[in-house]
Amino acid sequence: EIDAHEKPTLFRLIVSKKFQAAIVWLDANPDEASIWVYLRHPNDRSRYIARQLPIHIACLHIKPGNPELNDLIKRLVAVYPDGCRSKDNGGNLPIHIAFWKNASLPIISTLFKAYTSSADILDENNKTPQNYFRESGNEGKIEALADQSENDTVTNNISYRRENGSAFKLSAFAKKSLCSLRDPSVREKRGNSYRHARMQLAAGNISDRGHAA
């Protein structure tokens, strides 16, 4: 792990939103995908106020219509898939952050297939990816995810079976969520509780005193 004040190159490129340059750097330096970037509490250096992998930081930058960032996230998953299993210091997986940021279907699919057990893992809001699916109010998105995973299963049957059947799990997950979504009782406004320090770290807003600005 490395202090954010040292500004490791991949971290610096992501927070500067130079996503294409980050991809180039990542291809040449794949080990950086597994390096945690942190900020410690200014009054207690044993405590983290933010600690994230590049995949968490990239997901915090998700916005509609940003293909370069989507490509970077997919590349980070390919280079270091264990990042999808890793929680930041707030207890959030990359897929949780992706849901908060209303990520596109391909990004959700990429993160989920890298760690299918994430469906039932709680984040800092005490919600799972499955909860977010149920609360999204967007049946089309869930149906599309189910359809996409079924197509993947048909066209890549052998390879997905070798990868612990991730496409089958994805399809079952999406369909189960779709059934729940059709029940009005599960439609409720979702929380949007971002932790200030981690958001500031992802934005590159770091003070000289060792904490997020």
Give me the pLDDT at residue 25, please.
97
Give me the pLDDT at residue 128, please.
85
pLDDT digits (tens, 9 = 90+) for 65-90: 899 999 999 999 999 999 999 999 98
Coil, strand, or helix at residue 128? coil
Which is more confident, 159 or 200?
Answer: 200
Average pLDDT over residues 18-32: 97
CB 192 within 8 Å of CB 100? yes
Sign of CA dihedral 53, 59, 60, 66: positive
d(C-alpha 11, C-alpha 56), whole Å = 11
Give me the pLDDT at residue 183, please.
42
Name the percent of the chain lying above pLDDT 70. Answer: 63
pLDDT interval class at 103 (50, 70, 90): confident
Give me the pLDDT at residue 143, please.
46
pLDDT digits (tens, 9 = 90+) for 164-206: 444 444 555 544 444 443 344 433 333 343 355 555 566 565 5
Average pLDDT over residues 10-33: 96
Place of tokens 């994430």: 118
- Tell me the longest C-alpha to C-alpha distance in the chain: 56
d(C-alpha 50, C-alpha 65), whole Å = 28
pLDDT interval class at 4 (50, 70, 90): confident
Give me the pLDDT at residue 148, please.
57
**Which of 15-42 are b and which e, b meaning 16 or more Cβ less than 10 Å from the residue's Cβ?**
beeebebbbebbeeeeebbbebbbbbee
d(C-alpha 117, C-alpha 33), whole Å = 21
